[in-house]
Structures are given as structure tokens and as C-alpha cells.
A and B are shown apart, each in its own frame.
Chain A
């Protein structure tokens, strides 16, 4: 059973009179523990795909099975529960809550899930230690460097031990060296079994993934797992 199975996924946006097919008849399967890079020029539909995978958006057609369960038909609250327990997000601009400390930001998903404060504190302390942030627990985001911020964000994304980690241009706001550190960190998580899906337009970062998906005009142009590069 695939972790993620997309069949005939389509997503259409209406911009004024024109109709934009952001995703068009997409069929993709991703197994548990894979390391996938989604690449393509802007407007190719890779962000839309990531939003669909993260249940932030709904497809107009097709089915999405996560761990064998059809998640497109779930109610918003059920989708929120799936996001809470099975999906971790890492964003280009970190998306840390500015008024909360690093520890509080990491604890946020657990707080939303209703985990008791004592349990949260224990897991946050462990996570901050694992990510080398234990000296920064009480710092607010504006007191942290970019790399530290993204490490806090990754700690937050993984604190609920999700099945899949979705990273949207995770190095986009970082310099080369810090970006490499972040990628190394994500790859280390993947080596420990976490499914990692990275959206990037950086060839170098995309090339490090074991599997590349090339998007263009809402369609999958190339899937390295199929060893069948499409023409053009």
C-alpha cells in the first residue's frame, strides 16, 4: 500500500474570465520513507500539488488516498485532524509565531492537539535538544538566525511524528551554507524513516533527492521513478 496515492487529480482556478488548470490529470504514488523533490518553473503547479498533499486545498476532480484512506471526502474538521497527526509542514518563510518563544512555537501543534502541558514540555525539551536548539528555547523568532528559525520550524513540523513531511522551498530564504545544513537535517530525518517531500526550483537541492518529479503546466513531465523522461 502506498503512503500517498493520487489518481486523476485536477485543480482549476478561475481568474476572471480565464480558466487556469493548475493541476491536470495527475497520477502519482509515493511510498513510505521516500525522499521526493517536486520541481518545475513557477506556475507549473508544484505549490498547488503540495497544498493538496497537505490537505490545505481540495482537488476539483480525482482521488487522494493517504495511508489507504480517501482523504478528499473528509469534512474540514476531519482534515484538520489528519493535518495535526499525519502531516508536517516546513515553509520557505518559516512561519513562526513572532510573539511566541522557540519552545512555544515547537509546542504549538501539540497544544492544538490537546496534549497536556507536562507532556508537551517533555517532548519540546527533547526536540530542542535533538535539533541543537536547547540554548535558544526562550528566544523569540526575531532573536534567532535564519538557520535557527528553520530548525525551530522543522522541530515544530516533526513534533507530532507525522507520516509525511512537506517542505515548500525550505532553503529559499537562507544562504547556501545554512540551506545545506537545513537540507542535511531534513535528509537525516528521512534516513530515520520519515517520508520527505520537498518543493524546490533549485536543481542542486532537487538533485539530492532520490526521486524527482518535474512539473510543467499542471502536468507531471518527468518522474525519475518511472525512468521515462517525457519529451520537451
Chain B
């Protein structure tokens, strides 16, 4: 029997029992679609986090007060070590290190903004002119904080795009006076919308000079120091130099933590890749179930078509021909199911991206290939047994069942 005839015969056999064919195709499609959508979700989460960290700026090194990287608090900690706070002077000292390009102090707190007759709760970030370049922000209007003595600070503010929108609407905000807590500040700039970053929505932040923020919150400590290395290769050098400089400034005590964006990113990347693989593994179970269903359907087909198999043998079909025909049918069910599922999965990922535009839910290539290969191979694997059973049927017995 010619291959093209085997395929046509198998196709006709599959379409001859539409409900049975539809159900097994559906099962396979759901399995593949589940893998595609779930891995799209998992990988989307990974990309989302990676993008978030990339949005922080490049070649970034961050200094946190306190020794523990995880920042856990225990009573023993409080009694034995009293971590020295990070100060603006600490930050300024770091600007003289050889591998450091820029340094920005960061202190943060909540306050109320009162302007244009409107009142709103806002996050206030105290920093310096360098912050704009370190975070790669863009101005929508005006300019960022002016350069100058970090400890003194002029009574000026830069507002995020959402705050500008809510308080001033479409009217220009630059040059307007606002009240922030008990301070009167003049707006010198409005940031372009950038979205999430560093755990706060930059569009809803008011930036003021670090000195202004410190007096506003009545503190002399910093929340973070952001440092940009001169190049990617110098990140490690920056890390060493910063740790050494701060240790020297803090009386020989290592009471700060220096983290790099890369380290955090690599951890998240690894974690979320593992998560995606785990989710893909779970979804793959549904593929195995679909494969078993195809086997079931093919076994039923062999029983249902016993008379036909007997007839084919009487007409001169060899055992291998019958086996090939049933294998081809199982392969077709799996293939059509897998392709349908792939289409459904891509559509599902598309819907996810429409509903959550910030979430890059694209299935990774490896998952798509693995899903299609698994679907086809389980279909074929589970097709072998029914096909062999069909090929081995005794023609006399088979012909009697009609």
C-alpha cells in the first residue's frame, strides 16, 4: 500500500468518527495549550522581573544599611550590633572612588502634597541631581534637581507624571508652588511616565533634594545609596571599593550591605526559570493523559473496526499495512491536537497580554517545542499498542464480528 494511500485511509478513518476524533484532538489540544499558556505565564513573570530590574538603570550597585542582605530583624541583632546609619557624607565620600561614575543618595518617606487646591498622599524621595542619569529617567518638562551641596538642598521639587496629572491636569506644573508637609517648594520639573521600579511607582513620587527630605522627615540617615559603575566590568571593583570605603568610615565595622543588580537579577532569573519548568512539568502531565486518551480511543477504534480489519486482511492487506494505518491515524489525532493546542495556547497568551499589557506573556521556544514533541511522541507511543493489536487480529475471528 502506498504511503499516500495509508495517510488518506487514516484520515478518512479519523473523519469517519467525528465525535471520537474531536474528543481526542480536544484532549491533546488542551494539554498542549496548557503547557503553552502556563509557560508563557511563568516566563512572562521572569521577563517582567528582569525588565523591572533593568529599568533601575545599568551597572547599578546599591548600598543598604545593616549587615544582613535579607534584612531580617531579630532581638539578638538589636542588642549586639547597632548598625551605623548611612549618611549623606558617606554617599558623598563614595563619589571619589576610582571605579564609580555617579552616586545618588536616597532617602524616602510618606508625606502630603498640597497644591492647586488639592491634597494627596505621596511618596517623597530625597536624592540628588545624579539620580536622573543613574535611573535613566527622562524629563517631560523642566529639569531635574539642580546640582549643589547635598546636605543643604534648595526648596525645589520634581514630580512624577501621575501626580502632575492628578493635581494640575493638563495645565503646566513647572514653576508652580506646592506645599509638601510643612515645606513650600517650587516645581522645577515633571518626569516622563516610567512605571514601576524599585518597589515604588515613580509616576507617583515627588523628588526633592536629599537635604530637604531629611529635614522634612527629621532624620539624617539614608535609605539607600545608588552607585553607577564606570562600566559593567567594574561592577565588582565598585563593590569592593565601596565596602572598603564604608568600613573605613564606620570605624572598621562592616555594617552595610552592597548588592549588585546582576546578583539580584540572577537570583530572580534562576528562581523564575525553575518555576516555569515546574509549571511546564505539571502541564506535561495533561499531555501524558491526552496520550493515554488517544490510546484509549485507538483501542476502541480497533474494537469498533474489527470487522473492517478482518476484511482488509481478506482483501490482501499485510499486518504491517494495518499497523501503519492505525499508527498514522493516532499520529494524525496527536498532530492535529498539538497544532490546535499550540494555536489555542498562543491565543491564550495573546489574551493575557491584552488584559495585562505590562506582563510579557510569551511562551518560551523550548516549551513550545517540548510540548509539540511530547504530544506527538506520546500519541505515537500510545498508538503502537492498539495498532499492533489490530495487525495481529485473526482474520477469521475478525470477519465474524460485523
Contact = CB atoms under 8 A, between A and B. Distances in A.
Interface of A: 51, 54, 56-57, 76-77, 80-85, 89, 91, 93, 95, 97-100, 108-109, 111-114, 116-117, 156, 160
B285 interface: no
Contacts of A116: 2
Nearest to B308: A97
B5 A77 contact: no
A77 B316 contact: no
B93 interface: no
Nearest to B315: A109
23 contacts: A56-B313, A56-B314, A56-B395, A77-B319, A80-B316, A80-B317, A80-B319, A81-B316, A82-B316, A83-B313, A83-B314, A83-B316, A84-B315, A84-B316, A89-B314, A91-B399, A97-B311, A99-B12, A109-B316, A111-B1, A113-B1, A113-B316, A114-B5
Nearest to B307: A95
B16 interface: yes
B11 to A, nearest CB: 11
Given A80-B316, A112-B312, A57 B402 contact: no
Interface in B351-402: 395-396, 399, 402
Nearest to A84: B316
A89 B395 CA distance: 13
Nearest to A166: B314
A56 B318 contact: no
B315 A56 contact: no
Contacts, number: 72
A54 B318 contact: no
Contacts of A111: 1-2, 5, 9
Contacts of B1: 111-114
A106 to B, nearest CB: 11
Contacts of B395: 56-57
A112 B6 CA distance: 9
Contacts of B396: 51, 56-57
Q: List 4 tightest A-B contacts by C-beta distance, closest first.
A: A84-B316, A99-B16, A83-B316, A80-B318
B151 interface: no
B23 interface: no
A99 B319 CA distance: 22
A165 to B, nearest CB: 12
B315 A108 contact: yes
A218 B230 CA distance: 101
Interface residues of B, number: 26
A54 B243 CA distance: 93
A85 B316 contact: yes
A46 to B, nearest CB: 14
Interface of B: 1-2, 5, 9, 12-13, 15-16, 307-308, 310-321, 395-396, 399, 402
A71 to B, nearest CB: 13
B12 A100 contact: yes
A221 to B, nearest CB: 23
A22 B31 CA distance: 52
B274 to A, nearest CB: 49
B2 A114 contact: yes
Contacts of A113: 1, 316
Contacts of B310: 95
B308 A83 contact: no
A54 B321 CA distance: 19
A57 B316 CA distance: 13
A95 B2 CA distance: 23
Nearest to B314: A89
Nearest to A107: B5
A102 to B, nearest CB: 15
B9 A77 contact: no
Contacts of B314: 54, 56, 83, 89, 95
B12 A112 contact: no
B401 to A, nearest CB: 11
B13 A99 contact: yes
A76 B307 contact: no
Nearest to B6: A111
Residue among B9, B311, B316, B321 with the highest chain A CB neighbour number at 10 A: B316
B311 A77 contact: no
Residue among B12, B307, B314, B402 with the highest chain A CB neighbour number at 10 A: B314
Contacts of A156: 315
A112 B312 CA distance: 8
Contacts of B2: 111, 114, 116
A99 B311 CA distance: 14
Residue among B1, B16, B308, B315 with the highest chain A CB neighbour number at 10 A: B315
